[in-house]
């Protein structure tokens, strides 16, 4: 069975990542406007050189199988 992951975005920012089991989550944000130079890293692109990005994981990941399953059910119902 595949892991289920819900990514919540508000105002263009990832504000939470909900998972149904423990996971390592890293967020790559290519919008580096306003970042300090020390926060920006070069991320290799598929056959296209490197792009500046801000990478973070913070404490955004929350393992909550009940909530993830509830949200997946709502999403599937909305697609019918």
For the sheet containing 61-63, what is the strand order?
5-10, 13-19, 61-63
Of 62 and 70, more confident: 70
pTM of the predicted structure, to 2 decimals:
0.78
pLDDT given at position 64 = 94
Distance CA 62, CA 42 (A): 28
pLDDT given at position 13 = 85
pLDDT given at position 58 = 65
* Number of domain units in the chain: 1
Residue 18's domain comprises 5-78
C-alpha distances (whole Å) from 38 to each of 32, 51, 60 are: 11, 15, 21
* Strands (DSSP E) found in 4-80: 5-10, 13-19, 27-29, 40-44, 50-56, 61-63
Of 11 and 65, more confident: 65
pLDDT given at position 56 = 86
């Amino acid at each position: 069975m595949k892991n289920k992951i819900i990514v919540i975005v508000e105002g263009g920012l990832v504000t939470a990542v909900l998972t149904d089991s423990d996971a390592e989550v890293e967020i790559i944000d290519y919008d580096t406007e306003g970042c300090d130079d020390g926060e920006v890293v070069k991320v290799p692109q598929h056959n296209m050189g490197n792009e500046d990005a801000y990478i973070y994981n913070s404490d955004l990941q929350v393992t909550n199988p009940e909530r993830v399953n509830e949200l997946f059910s709502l999403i599937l119902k909305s697609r019918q």
